[in-house]
């Protein structure tokens, strides 16, 4: 007897597989244990002993061929399906919106201030928020018991429950970083010093117990008032992004002489215009240079200090300082 392998091999090769159903039919017919190939295996017993070895070899080949045709067809079918699915995806559909954060208005304002001074070749310096009397007051030419020390509503740090240490305090301005910078580096010095400062003030729409300042210091030979003035005008125009009408008003700070305050003319639609103070500045006082061992006969300098909240309030029309610290997303979202 002879097994009919040729016609089965032919139909394994020619069977059309183009869908999941026809794949399943192919499997049932040729691969499964009840299929045609299995059936031929079961007929082996009917063969003469000397025919069995050759027939077994042929049947094994047939079985392998059916299995590999099935495996390949399955792979082909799945990849067709996925390309069909990809073609039917609508890539113009709007993706769900992802929430995007925003920079805080104080950060945006500080960035703008930094940009002005980067242009002028200033670098950034930092100092500690817990300061001592020497850096915060004495070296800045505040005489002992001078009322200017009281002007700044200082937070002193308690040694223990009963004793206030008048030497250790939260810095009331960024000016002490001028001192630290000059102690660490000899002129020429061109630095800005941004940071937090603290004052014992009650919380209202216009005052808070902490806020941010940026100090600028330029010390070299022959630094003069005209350079200070140019710097102030450039600063105001870049921060407010327009030509500004300004005035430099004589003022007093212990650490500068002469000292000034800068006002800019402020107009808002429907309201009468007014002068608004935006910063303090002046030529570095000789006593300050002496306190850090810089010879005021050889070197001179200018310094200025401004409040970041003040600048940001004007830039964005914010009339309550407390909103800067609330972290209310409805407020912050507006600065994207």
Residues that bind ligand DAH (CB under 6 A): 173, 175, 215, 253, 256, 280-282, 303-305
Smallest separation, CB 147 to ligand DAH (Å): 14
- Which residues on adjacent β-strands are paired with residue 210? 198
Smallest separation, CB 277 to ligand DAH (Å): 11
Smallest separation, CB 113 to ligand DAH (Å): 14
Smallest separation, CB 182 to ligand DAH (Å): 12
- Token duo for residue 210: 């902490």
Rounded to whole angstroms, the Cα distance separating 176 from 179 reads: 5
Residues 6+ apart with CB under 8 A from 308: 106, 109, 110, 113, 194, 211, 212, 213, 214
What separation, in Å, do the N-terminal and C-terminal C-alpha atoms of the chain show? Answer: 87
- Which residues on adjacent β-strands are paired with residue 154? none
Using alpha carbons, select from 198, 194, 211, 208 the residue that is nearest to residue 157. 198
Smallest separation, CB 172 to ligand DAH (Å): 7
**Shorter beta-carbon distance to ligand DAH: residue 3 or 133:** 133
Smallest separation, CB 151 to ligand DAH (Å): 9
**Shorter beta-carbon distance to ligand DAH: residue 59 or 236:** 236
**Shorter beta-carbon distance to ligand DAH: residue 131 or 215:** 215
Q: At what angle do helices 308-316 and 105-119 cross, to 10 degrees?
A: 110
Q: Which residue is nearest to ligand DAH (CB)?
A: 305
Rounded to whole angstroms, the Cα distance separating 158 from 165 reads: 5
Q: What is the DSSP-derived secondary structure letter of residue 242?
A: S
Smallest separation, CB 178 to ligand DAH (Å): 7
**Shorter beta-carbon distance to ligand DAH: residue 101 or 143:** 143
**Shorter beta-carbon distance to ligand DAH: residue 40 or 279:** 279
**Shorter beta-carbon distance to ligand DAH: residue 3 or 284:** 284
Rounded to whole angstroms, the Cα distance separating 249 from 229 reads: 12
The rounded Cα 52 to chain-centroid distance in angstroms is 78
Q: Write 149-153 long-range contacts (CB < 8 A, 24+).
A: 152/199, 153/199, 153/200, 153/201
**Shorter beta-carbon distance to ligand DAH: residue 36 or 181:** 181
CB-hemisphere CA count at 13 Å for 175? 28
How many other CB atoms sit within 10 Å of the CB of residue 184? 11
Smallest separation, CB 105 to ligand DAH (Å): 21
**Shorter beta-carbon distance to ligand DAH: residue 175 or 313:** 175
**Shorter beta-carbon distance to ligand DAH: residue 132 or 215:** 215
Residues 6+ apart with CB under 8 A from 299: 187, 219, 220, 221, 223, 289
Residue the block writes with tokens 């007093």: 252
Smallest separation, CB 102 to ligand DAH (Å): 29
Rounded to whole angstroms, the Cα distance separating 271 from 15 reads: 88
Rounded to whole angstroms, the Cα distance separating 19 from 308 reads: 70
């Amino acid at each position: 007897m002879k097994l009919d392998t040729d016609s089965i091999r032919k139909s394994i090769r020619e069977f059309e597989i183009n869908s999941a159903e026809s794949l399943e039919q192919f499997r049932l017919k040729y691969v499964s244990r009840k299929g045609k190939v299995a059936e031929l295996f079961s007929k082996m017993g009917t063969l003469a002993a000397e025919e069995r070895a050759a027939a077994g070899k042929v049947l094994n080949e047939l079985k392998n061929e059916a299995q590999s045709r099935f495996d390949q067809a399955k792979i082909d079918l799945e990849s067709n399906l996925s390309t069909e699915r990809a073609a039917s995806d609508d890539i113009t559909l709007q993706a769900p919106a992802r929430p995007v954060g925003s920079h805080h208005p104080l950060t945006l304002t500080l960035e703008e201030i930094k940009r002005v001074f980067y242009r002028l070749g200033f670098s950034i310096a930092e100092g500690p928020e817990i300061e001592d009397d020497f850096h915060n007051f004495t070296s800045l030419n505040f005489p002992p018991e001078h009322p200017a020390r009281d002007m700044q509503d200082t937070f002193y740090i308690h040694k223990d429950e009963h004793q206030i240490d008048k030497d250790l305090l939260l810095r009331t301005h960024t000016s002490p970083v001028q001192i630290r910078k000059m102690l660490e580096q000899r002129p020429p010095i061109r630095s800005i010093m941004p940071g937090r400062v603290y004052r014992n003030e009650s919380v209202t729409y216009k005052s808070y117990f902490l806020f941010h300042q940026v100090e600028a210091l330029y010390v070299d030979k022959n630094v003069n008032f005209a350079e200070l003035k140019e710097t102030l005008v450039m600063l105001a125009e870049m921060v407010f992004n327009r030509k500004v009408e300004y005035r430099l008003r004589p003022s007093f700070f212990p650490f500068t002489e002469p000292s000034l305050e800068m006002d800019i003319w402020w107009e808002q639609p429907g309201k009468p215009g007014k002068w608004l103070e935006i910063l303090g500045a002046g030529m570095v006082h000789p006593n300050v240079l002496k306190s850090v061992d810089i010879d005021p006969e050889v070197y001179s300098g200018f310094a200025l200090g401004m409040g970041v909240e003040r600048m940001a309030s004007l830039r964005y029309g914010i009339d309550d300082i407390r909103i800067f610290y609330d972290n209310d997303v409805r407020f912050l979202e507006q600065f994207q």
